[in-house]
Amino acid sequence: MAFPATGMFVQTWIKSLKASSGFDTPLNLCTNGAFGVYNGCSLYTNSVTTDLTTNVDDIFTAGQFFSNEISGAGYSTTGYLFPSQTFAHTSGGVVSLTSTTNPNWTGSTLSNVQGCVYWCPTLVSTVTTYSGILAYNFGTAVSTVSGTLTIQLASSTIFTIDLIP
Amino acid sequence: MNEFQKRIGVGETHYGLGRTKPTRQRIVVAEEGLRKGQTGVVYTDHSDGRMDAKVITAPVKAFGKN
């Protein structure tokens, strides 16, 4: 297998939406700076082997994403931290997670970047954890040389949920 | 050829300083995923050797068909 097809982390969403979830608090999709940690976007190689149906509570502690996060000049573990995000109804029953800034890494030299994970912090047994929300497959390996890698969000939108399809 | 022509080097190789284009862009099409067959990455190659990459993404529709 390789970096999974673009999709949501199933167990994370089940935990968040169920009354008796594995999280002490809901996903902090719209609360930046919770527990002193912002929501973020991290980068991965194509060596990730998971289909997103089973995932660990913390993608920076164990599992396939932990093992295959990229490294290189201009990139730090956990990746880009969003200064702000908005999770709100936009129109027609569609709820969107948006950001006014695009994830970017300046002065970077990176190679074989196949995709990214959007994550947010939550609490599991009172311990801050980093839960994967969405894995996005770029569709091609990406590289930079002492340059800027930018993930251009379409209409500032990371994902949408159509609650009135 | 007259003296003036000889003096200015008519017929000889001349080297001039010119301004080259500082950057060029190239597009890589996505081979898979939500933007398969569409622009996946726009690279900017700089004359000093730097290379930028802009990944073009689509908003993901959770709980629906993308």
Shortest distance, CA A31 to any CA of chain B (angstroms): 20
Shortest distance, CA B38 to any CA of chain A (angstroms): 10
Please give the pLDDT value at position A54.
Answer: 79
Mean pLDDT, rounded, of chain A: 86
A73: closest CA among A148, A136, A135? A148
**What confidence tens digit (pLDDT) does each residue in A10-33 have?**
777 767 766 556 666 666 665 566
Give B-chain residues touching A165 at CB under 8 angstroms.
Answer: 63-64
Q: Which residue of A has its CA nearest to B39?
A: A139
Q: Of B33, B35, B53, which has the smallest distance from its Cβ to A149's Cβ?
A: B53
Question: What is chain B's Cα-based Rg?
Answer: 25
Q: Of B31, B52, B62, which has the smallest distance from its Cβ to A148's Cβ?
A: B52
- Interface-testing mutation among A1, A3, A6, with chain B (most B C-beta atoms within 10 A): A6
Identify the three-state secondary structure at position B20.
coil
Burial class (CB in 10 A: 0-12, 13-18, 19+), B46: middle
Q: Do B60 and A148 touch (CB under 8 A)?
A: no
Shortest distance, CA B25 to any CA of chain A (angstroms): 13
**What confidence tens digit (pLDDT) does each residue in A55-100 have?**
677 899 989 999 999 999 999 999 999 988 888 888 888 888 889 9
Q: Report how far residue A3's alpha carbon sits from residue A77's, in angstroms, rounded to the nearest whole number.
A: 18
Please give the pLDDT value at position A34.
Answer: 58
Q: How confident is the model at residue B16 (pLDDT cuts 50, 70, 90)?
A: low
Q: Do A154 and B58 touch (CB under 8 A)?
A: yes
**Dihedral angle of Cα A97, A13, A61, A88, to the nearest 10 degrees:** 20
What number of C-beta contacts closer than 8 Å exist between A and B? 101
**What confidence tens digit (pLDDT) does each residue in A114-132 have?**
999 999 888 777 778 888 9
Give A-chain residues touching B23 at CB under 8 angstroms.
Answer: none
Give B-chain residues touching A160 at CB under 8 angstroms.
Answer: 59-62
B63 Cβ contact partners less than 8 Å away, ≥ 6 residues apart = A161, A162, A165
Q: What is the pTM of this model?
A: 0.83
- Interface-testing mutation among A118, A140, A156, with chain B (most B C-beta atoms within 10 A): A140
Please give the pLDDT value at position A36.
Answer: 62
Q: Do B49 and A142 touch (CB under 8 A)?
A: no
Shortest distance, CA A128 to any CA of chain B (angstroms): 25
